[in-house]
Structure formats: C-alpha cells, structure tokens
Structure 1
Amino acid sequence: MSYPLEQRLVPTNGLRLHVAQSGPESGPLVVLLHGFPEGWYSWRYQIGALASAGYRVWAPDQRGYNLSDKPRRVRDYTIDALAADVLGLLDAAGAKTAVVVGHDWGAAVAWHLAANYPERIRRAAVLNVPHPQVLAQALRHNPRQLAKSWYMLFFQLPWLPEGLARLRGWWAARQAMLRTSAKGVFSPEDLDDYSIGWAQPRAMRSMINWYRAAARYASRLGKTGRVRVPLHIIWGENDAFLEPELARASLQYCEAGRLTYLPASHWVQHEMPEEVNELLLGFMR
C-alpha cells in the first residue's frame, strides 16, 4: 500500500523542524536523519518503502537545514542539542520508542542517541559514519583519514567556507557531491532541489556550524559510549571521505552490532536504494 508524503513543521526542543512524514499513523516510528549537505530529500528512496511496510516514517530537515529553524550560535549545534531535537520528535509523535536511521552527520546523531538513550531508541542503523570515538582516534593516528578529513579543518574558519560555497550558484557543493558519487546518482534536478535548501537564509552557515561545534565541544561527542541496543552499520566501501576499516572498528563499541559493506560510495542509500531498503527492513523486523 502506498501512502502520501506529508510535510509539517513540528515543535521540538524549543524550535521547529520541517518534517516529511509518511506511513500509517499507528505504525512503529522510524526517524531518518540526513547528513551534510542534504536534508529530508536524501531519504526519498527509503520513505516510501518503509511506509509501505507499515512503518510511520519521519524524515526531518535537522536544525540549520532547509526549512527548519536555524539558531545563530555555534554552541546551538552541539551533539546534545541535535539529539534532544530527535527525542522531542519522538514525544511529538507520541512514541515511547523508535528506530533511528542516520547517514553521515545523521549517523553521528544516531550513534549518540543509541548509546545514551537506550530506553527511547529500540534499534539504530548508521550509514557511512563510524562511532565518534573511532573517528577521533583515526584523526589522531591515521594519516590517510586525516588527509580525507581536510574539509573539517577548513570549516573551522569563520565566514570563508560559507562565503565560498555561495559562489557560482553553489558550484563547489554540487561538484563535491558529483565527484564523490557514482555517475548519474545525483541528477541536475536533485542538485537544484538541494540548492534551494542551501540558499535559505543562514542555512549554509548553520550547516557548517555543525562542524564548528564538533571541534569546539569535542568532549561532548566523546560522551558517546557503548551501544547496548541492536545496531546495524551499513557502509559504502568506496567512501571518499572515510576509511572503510573505521566501520569494522566501530563494532567494538556495540554489544549487538552487525556490519554490511556494499559496493557503493559515501552516498550509499542513493546508489543502492533497493539493497539498503532490504537491509533496513530485515533489521527492523
């Protein structure tokens, strides 16, 4: 059965998030958390499949993105605030627990939620981001990973990253997605849709503030400990940003973890949507 896609502004944690919703109202809640530099649209291939399987799906634009509220301070984008936004969505949905699925930065939020709020997170799936402690260790001791993460250092500069991003109709952001994905994964129309979100007032600065907050308040990310709830790592092994061994190293922080490598890039749910959907549905059952 197919369900319509609804779009609503949902109050949570003192702000409003724009949320794409689908699926039966009484279905178990699944929250899909996007990464940088996307938005709810990054889950367009997953929302319908999960809704048709009987799940109530919420895919928010996380704070700072697209049509959601955009607090001005860097400290408004700490991992604690990002996690509190998601817990507020569960409350707004009337759900005591949920399955959370995250990609890229959304996966970092999912790791944090699964480790620190097991009473609210029933299961978690993370796509192409390792456990925060594994990434921190790699940045200190793995020269290959440090080289791949050069942009994280660049994003610490004030004003310049977001200023350059605006040049030539968001050319740099478009090229970054095209060059790190398989040919044809992102159509010109897809990139136009993303560009609308990037052009929202204060959006690009807010999106980059996630990286600034991670560096300035690194100890908060470090509070992500062991994960006791079932967790599935899905990893595109041709990731241009992250070394593939980080996925396997992350299993040491999971009491009930599993790992699946797929022959895809960082943008795994775009490139192999059917395989990702099958893995998610099997895991959630």
Structure 2
Amino acid sequence: MRGKVISIVLVVLVSVIAVGYMSGRQPDRDAVAAASKEFDTAFRGMFVDANGVRLHVVIAGPEDGKPILLLHGYPEFWYAWRGVMADLARKGYRVIALDQRGYNRSAKPSGAHSYRLNILAKDIVEVAAALGHERFALVGHDFGGQVTWWTSLLHPKKVVGALVVNKPHPYAIRDVRPEEEAISWYRTFLRVPWLPGHIARYGNWGLLEKNLQDTSEPGTFSKEVMDQYKAAWDRDGSIHSMGAWYRANATFDADVGAGLVTVPARLLLAKNDAFSPPELAFASERYLEKGDVRELHIGTHWVIQEHPRLIADEIDKFVGGLEWTSGR
C-alpha cells in the first residue's frame, strides 16, 4: 500500500513538472528595447564581471551624473525600475539597475550558499567599482531593500546614502517576526527547494501573475508587462535560482553589532503595502543613525511601478541632499 501511494505521488509530481514546464515556456523578449520605447529613454544593457560572476546591468543617464544603483526585489528584475530610471536620467543622474544574481540574464550559481546576503552586498560594491564608481547612492525595493540594508551595514564607506522602499530594517523584522511572518507565508514556501519553481510555472505562470495583479493597483501588471516578467522567470531556469534568496537567508546575520546604519538612510512605506505591516517600518527608525521613515500617501507594495515619477522625485530629494565628498 505504501509503495502504491509513493508511486501515485511521484506520478503527480512528474505530471506537475512536465505540464508546468510546457505551459511556462516563453519566447525570448528584449526588455531593454521595450522599456526604451515605452519611456522614450536610451537604456543600455551590458554585462559586468564582479565577485566571481557575470551580472547583467541596465544603464541610463549622463556618464558624469551622480551614480544611483537600483536593486529589484522578488519576483522582479531590473525592468521594475524602468519608469523610475527614465525620470532620474532626465534629472541628470547616472542610473544603474541590476539583475541581481539568480535573476533574468545574470549568473545563476548553484547552491543556496551562493546567495547569502553578504555575497549579494559584495556584488553591488564590485559592480559599482567595475563601472568606475567607488561610492554611490543605493536604492532597493522589497528583497533589494534587504540587500541595500546589508550593503550599507557591511560597506558603509562605499554607500553615500541608502533609500529603501517597502522593506524594513532586518533587525526590526527580527524584533517583530511573528507579525511579519503572518503576512509573509510565501517566504516560508520559497525556502522549500525545487518545488516552488515548478508550481510557479504551472498554468502559464498563473499563480505568480494572479499574486502580482491582486496586490497591485489596476493596470500595473498589464499583459505586455507580464510577458516581460514571464520571459525573465523562464530564462535559464531563473525561477529556481530566484528562490535561493530565501533558502540562503532565513537565519542570516553578520557581525554588525546593534545593526545601526551609519550612512544617511530613508525608508519609504507605501500606504497599501500588503506584505509589510507599518509597525515594522516605523520600528526601523531606531536602527538609523542619520535617517527617517516616511509613509507615502498612495501605492501598494509595487509602488515603484505604479507611481514611478513619485518614487523618482523621492529619490531625487534624498540623493540631492547627500554629501558627495569624493566624486565618482
């Protein structure tokens, strides 16, 4: 009897994998060209060798502009920042958005240990240096915000200032973990190896698409936008390496004392973020030596795509007030 049950389970799993693989297959799409056309902005994609891997970055704005690095979250890629990038480029900034390791066109090393937050933070510093920027402003959303916090903690001399959207300080999350975990069940699910990626592919990425559309303002994730995301998730097995972020960092910590962020920092919280309670955001303020927390009057968790001009203006106000003492 037991053997029969195991056989049935295996057949079901194989069927899910096979159907998911076929229904999730996507044609190759050029997100750089699509974004350039959508926002009438010259985006340029390129590859940078950094920290032992090859990472894909997209750049806009004048070469002599102050450098701002933009870090996406899950399940996004550089493309999430396209509207913000266009506005910042017009304001004269040199804007660099990464596909972080494991995502889209960037390298996907094997093993969850390759995605620890200290390694992701080093990626950022080395990408900036390879592009000629020893110091830079850093902006992150969602898990990209987590990388922003840790880059600021581990490499404070490199970060002129840090702005995070919808991602509380990691120690604030630790302090209030039960409340945070209650609305972040998906993070626990993503810590399971192998299975989440196969389920995500099922029904032409139906679960991921529904989650994005149900938790965002209407029209944010249109068919055209979803086509770009689906192509990125499908590319080189990205959907599996994307989840490694969560498997690698469930209990991550580093020797940073009390976790005080010493660089100028700001946390922005969208009014209708379904994934992070406001008390977590405001609890973050105690970890900011020279920073604050501000609540936006509109937007959901996906505010960087819903209101890119608003976010670009917030970044401009923050970065414009920083002291750039050593230039590029």
**Overall identity of the aligned pairs, in %:** 39
1:250 equivalent in structure 2 = 284
1:198 aligns with 2:233: yes
Aligned residues: 280
Q: Out of 119, 124, 129, which is 2:157 matched to? A: 119
2:30 equivalent in structure 1 = none
Q: Out of 184, 197, 202, which is 1:167 matched to? A: 202
Residues 183-194 of structure 1: pairs in structure 2 closer than 5 A: 183-194=218-229
8 Å contact from structure 1 (residues 132, 224) kept in 2: no
Q: CA offsets per residue over residues 145-199 of structure 1, 9 Å max, x none?
A: 2221111111122221111011011111111100111111111110110000000
Give, as a single letter, the amino acid of the residue that structure 2 aligns with 1:245: E
Structure 1 residue runs of 5 or longer lacking an equivalent are none
Tell which deviates more after alignment, 252-261 or 56-65. 252-261
Give, as a single letter, the amino acid of the residue that structure 1 aligns with 2:277: E
Q: How many Å separate the matches in 2 of 1:47 and 1:264? A: 18
Q: Out of 259, 262, 274, which is 2:293 matched to? A: 259
Give, as a single letter, the amino acid of the residue that structure 1 aligns with 2:47: L
1:77 aligns with 2:115: yes
1:90 equivalent in structure 2 = 128
Q: CA offsets per residue over residues 105-124 of structure 1, 9 Å max, x none?
A: 10001011112212100011
Q: How many Å separate the matches in 2 of 1:193 and 1:279? A: 26
Secondary structure of 1:101's partner? strand
Q: How many Å separate the matches in 1 of 2:101 and 2:116? A: 11
Q: CA offsets per residue over residues 35-78 of structure 1, 9 Å max, x none?
A: 00000000011111111111111101000000111011100000
Give, as a single letter, the amino acid of the residue that structure 1 aligns with 2:266: H
Q: Out of 123, 137, 152, which is 2:187 matched to? A: 152
1:39 aligns with 2:101: no
1:133 equivalent in structure 2 = 171
2:305 equivalent in structure 1 = 270
Give, as a single letter, the amino acid of the residue that structure 1 aligns with 2:173: L
Q: CA deviation at 1:222?
A: 7.6
TM-score in terms of structure 1 length? 0.94
Q: How many Å separate the matches in 2 of 1:222 and 1:228? A: 11
Q: How many Å separate the matches in 1 of 2:127 and 2:60? A: 14
1:232 equivalent in structure 2 = 266
Q: CA deviation at 1:258?
A: 2.0
1:219 aligns with 2:253: yes
Give, as a single letter, the amino acid of the residue that structure 2 aligns with 1:60: L
Over 3 Å counting, the alpha-carbon distance change for 1:42 and 1:224 in structure 2 is farther
Over 3 Å counting, the alpha-carbon distance change for 1:223 and 1:157 in structure 2 is farther
Give, as a single letter, the amino acid of the residue that structure 2 aligns with 1:162: G
Q: CA deviation at 1:221?
A: 9.2
8 Å contact from structure 1 (residues 227, 255) kept in 2: yes
Q: How many Å separate the matches in 2 of 1:223 and 1:169? A: 45
Tell which deviates more after alignment, 101-110 or 44-53. 44-53
Q: CA deviation at 1:136?
A: 1.8
8 Å contact from structure 2 (residues 72, 80) kept in 1: yes
Give, as a single letter, the amino acid of the residue that structure 2 aligns with 1:116: L
Structure 2 residue runs of 5 or longer lacking an equivalent are 1-39, 321-328
Q: How many Å separate the matches in 1 of 2:121 and 2:252? A: 15
8 Å contact from structure 1 (residues 3, 24) kept in 2: no
Q: CA offsets per residue over residues 189-216 of structure 1, 9 Å max, x none?
A: 101100000001221111001000011x
Over 3 Å counting, the alpha-carbon distance change for 1:265 and 1:100 in structure 2 is same
**Larger CA Rg, structure 1 vs 2:** 2
Q: CA offsets per residue over residues 206-238 of structure 1, 9 Å max, x none?
A: 1001000011x5234987811111111111121
8 Å contact from structure 1 (residues 111, 224) kept in 2: no
Q: How many Å separate the matches in 2 of 1:16 and 1:220? A: 25
Q: How many Å separate the matches in 1 of 2:190 and 2:308? A: 30
Q: CA RMSD in A?
A: 1.5
